[in-house]
Amino acid sequence: MRSTFADRRVNPLAKYFSILEGKAFAWILLIPSLTLVSFFIVYPLYRGIRLSFSEYKLLDGKNPEFNSLDNYFILFRDPDVLNATRITFTYTVIGLISQVLLGMAAALLLTKKSKYIWIARIAIMLPWFMPPVVTAYMWRFMLDAKVGIYTLLLSHIGIDIGGIGIWGDPDRALYGVLFVELWRSYPFFTLFILAGIQAIPVELRESTALDGANAFQHFRYITLPLLKPVLFVSTVLEAIKLINSPTLVLLMTEGGPADSTMVLPLLAFKKAYQAFDFGYSSTISVAVLVAISGFAIVYIRAVGFGREK
Amino acid sequence: MIMKKTIKKFSLSSCFINFGLIFLLVFALFPIVWTIYTSFRVEMDIIKNPTGLNFSELNFNAYREVWTGTDFPVLIKNSLITSFLTMVMSLTLGTLAGYSLSRSDFRAKETVLLVYLLVRVIPGVLLLIPIFLLMQKFNLLDTHIGLALAYTTFTLPAAVWLMKGFFDGLPIDLENAARVDGCSRMGALWRVVLPLVLPGIAATATLVAIEAWNDVLFALMITSSTDARTWPVGMKLLIGEFQLPWGQLTATAVLSLIPVVIGFSFAGRRMVAGLTAGGVKE
């Protein structure tokens, strides 16, 4: 308040500069980013939804043609879409469960008090920052049927992934990709859970110990309930990532062998990138978006997040 | 008595914890170490004796081949330019928006924050086609700036949320003091606030740059020649159907990691702290 008054007295242009106060100032700072978002998100989103109701194949050389719900009728009867939905579901559920469990275990181990624990904390985050292309080909190499080091190591303990190998076997390729996804993404959960654990006062452990609780009981009745908000946020974010981003599958198997790893966004990407069927590709993506939003709402209701407010 | 008992229990389990930590470290790091080792091996040796340890014949041949025999240097340059442009745009816009959302209080604030978050829910593939058509219209296909604009839309929400978190951690009294001393609102931001959140800016910048550096989906669609093609696309194209050039592949992988490692060592700890600060709040 005082500064505004001082400005007016000293600066003859104060009246002009006072636009830069309060709410107007807040909006001025927001405008550049909101403009960009509307140009590259809101407009494309609108355009994409409209394309999903249109026939538009780039190679035909014709303009998009509105065909109302035709694409959606095709979608519901398309066996490829049904197959991809099933695979996407398996991929997301197994991916989430394995990542949460390993992420939680790692976070509990990394809470250990030690002078050098920060080195371990950063080291296990490294896979998360690896370029997906590098991760994909590195693991293709190490799980290769002929030259893979893990193939050799696993054969010593009686697991044979030689022969046609993981990447050529329709029954195992998906689990191969899931394993790599686990290696790459569980640090995300570790990061969140670790931060959550560190926010819990240490004194709580002392008082539960006085009450005779063992470490497991403390974890079950104190740590886990307190981690609920963190787990909620991180599982939602990771589920969205698993459903939406086909990068790893695209790089490792391209949906094969025999479409056994063809997740929905990859199917949409292939329709756009290889068949240039922009209309139908958009239809698949819109269906995914609707499904994600639906699941998110159900999940939020079920977990009851925000009810405390 | 009881306290003594618990302390004893803790030290018993610490053996188990150490074992678990070692397992985690091997799980996380061994693949990276093995890739680096392979990149220095002779191609014949990799094929003949794939899992062997042979330190006598290590050399830089694969790196030389990648550097002189492929487009890789050009692609790296393209990637560096695109990542830099993405970083500058995301940081400029994200800092302004984050500051605004942190310091002011208006009715639409929650909505604006939510909109930035919702952007992440939209499948990239859905936006890919309209963005492709938009870029075609404005002749931005296969250009650095076109690709960087596409990346910025995806990195901006993260930048806004992270920067808001860093600004939230800064006491508002500092700016008020600056204002009393005659600084304008913009001046207070520029002279007082920004220098104080510089570590946060560095962390956000690194994260944004790494995301642009790593992406393959958009680069695959928007670039079509070495004019703007980035290294992940080049690496994907390096893969033939049958015989994979493992030596060159691993050498490319190691080279591509250098900027990530530099960025991470520069802002790693700060970045990890910033990521969790934004997520756990509320």
Q: Check whether B74 has a pLDDT greater than 80.
A: yes
Number of domains present in the structure of chain A: 2
User: Are A27 and A135 found together in one domain?
Assistant: no
User: Are B144 and B230 found together in one domain?
Assistant: yes
User: Are B100 and B12 found together in one domain?
Assistant: no
User: Are B161 and B248 found together in one domain?
Assistant: yes
As for the ipTM of the complex, it is: 0.81
| Residue B243's pLDDT band (cuts 50, 70, 90) | low
Q: Check whether B179 has a pLDDT greater than 90.
A: no
| Residue A237's pLDDT band (cuts 50, 70, 90) | confident
The confidence score (pLDDT) of residue B277 equals 58
Q: Check whether B80 has a pLDDT greater than 80.
A: yes
Determine, for residues B21 and A268 on separate chains, whether the beta-carbon distance falls below 8 Å.
no
In a domain, A51, yes or no: no
Determine, for residues A289 and B122 on separate chains, whether the beta-carbon distance falls below 8 Å.
yes
Alpha carbons B119 and A289: distance in angstroms, whole number: 11
The token pair at A64 is 């998009």
pLDDT, one tens digit per residue, over B262-275 is 887 777 666 666 66
Average pLDDT (B202-214) is 87
Nearest-by-CA chain A residue for B282: A229
Structure-token match 């069927």, residue found: A277
Q: What is the DSSP track for chain A?
A: -HHHHHHHHH-TTHHHHGGGSHHHHHHHHHHHHHHHHIIIIIHHHHHHHHHTTEE-BGGGTPPPEE-TTHHHHHHHH-HHHHHHHHHHHHHHHHHHHHHHHHHHHHHHHHT---TTHHHHHHHHHHHHHS-HHHHHHHHHHHT-TTT-HHHHHHHHTT----TTTGGG-TTTHHHHHHHHHHHHHHHHHHHHHHHHHHTS-THHHHHHHHTT--HHHHIIIIIHHHHHHHHHHHHHHHHHHHHH--HHHHHHTTT-STTTT--HHHHHHHHHHTS-BHHHHHHHHHHHHHHHHHHHHHHHHHHTTTTT-
Determine, for residues A6 and B182 on separate chains, whether the beta-carbon distance falls below 8 Å.
yes
In a domain, A292, yes or no: yes
pLDDT, one tens digit per residue, over A163-201 is 777 888 888 899 999 999 999 999 989 988 888 888 788
A57-61, A282-286, B7-11, B135-139: the lowest-pLDDT one: B7-11
Minimal CA separation from B88 to chain A, in Å: 13
- Selecting from B29, B125, B180 the residue whose C-beta is nearest the C-beta of A268 gives B125
The CATH number of whichever domain residue B272 belongs to comes to 1.10.3720.10
Q: Is A106 exposed, middle or buried (0-12, 13-18, 19+ CB in 10 A)?
A: buried
Instruction: Give the structural domain span for A115.
Output: 79-303
User: Are B272 and B137 found together in one domain?
Assistant: yes
Determine, for residues B236 and A289 on separate chains, whether the beta-carbon distance falls below 8 Å.
no
**Residue A57, strand partner residues:** A277
CB of B89 within 8 A of CB of B209?
no
The confidence score (pLDDT) of residue A15 equals 45
Determine, for residues A120 and B119 on separate chains, whether the beta-carbon distance falls below 8 Å.
no
The CATH number of whichever domain residue A157 belongs to comes to 1.10.3720.10
Report yes or no: B53 at the A interface, CB cutoff 8 Å.
no
Q: Is B80 exposed, middle or buried (0-12, 13-18, 19+ CB in 10 A)?
A: middle
Residue B57 CA, distance from chain mean position = 34
In a domain, A61, yes or no: no
Instruction: Give the structural domain span for B35.
Output: 2-39
In a domain, B192, yes or no: yes
User: Are A16 and A113 found together in one domain?
Assistant: no
In a domain, A259, yes or no: yes
- Selecting from B123, B186, B244 the residue whose C-beta is nearest the C-beta of A244 gives B123
Determine, for residues B239 and A45 on separate chains, whether the beta-carbon distance falls below 8 Å.
no
Q: Is pLDDT larger for residue A308 or for residue B97?
A: B97
User: Are A142 and A280 found together in one domain?
Assistant: yes
The token pair at A102 is 């390993």
Determine, for residues B180 and A3 on separate chains, whether the beta-carbon distance falls below 8 Å.
yes
User: Are A236 and A140 found together in one domain?
Assistant: yes
Average pLDDT (A35-46) is 86
Q: Which residues of chain A lie closer than 8 angstroms to B13, CB-CB? A: 215
Average pLDDT (A83-104) is 94
In a domain, A255, yes or no: yes
B225: which DSSP letter? S
First to last CA, chain B: 40
Sequence-distant (6+) residues with CB within 8 A of B114 are none
Helix (H) or strand (E) holding B266: helix B246-280
User: Are B18 and B103 found together in one domain?
Assistant: no
User: Are B251 and B193 found together in one domain?
Assistant: yes
Minimal CA separation from B234 to chain A, in Å: 10
Determine, for residues B236 and A23 on separate chains, whether the beta-carbon distance falls below 8 Å.
no
Report yes or no: B139 at the A interface, CB cutoff 8 Å.
no
The confidence score (pLDDT) of residue A3 equals 46
Average pLDDT (A254-264) is 88
Nearest-by-CA chain B residue for A131: B214
Determine, for residues A47 and B133 on separate chains, whether the beta-carbon distance falls below 8 Å.
yes
In a domain, A72, yes or no: no
Q: Which of B247, B252, B254, B241 is nearest to B44 (CA)?
A: B247
In a domain, A64, yes or no: no
Helix (H) or strand (E) holding B93: helix B72-103
Number of domains present in the structure of chain B: 2
In a domain, A47, yes or no: no
**Residue B6, strand partner residues:** none
Report yes or no: B11 at the A interface, CB cutoff 8 Å.
no
In a domain, B121, yes or no: yes
User: Are A261 and A115 found together in one domain?
Assistant: yes
pLDDT, one tens digit per residue, over B4-63 is 455 555 555 778 888 889 999 999 999 999 889 988 988 777 777 777 777 777 888 888
Minimal CA separation from A124 to chain B, in Å: 6
Minimal CA separation from A170 to chain B, in Å: 18
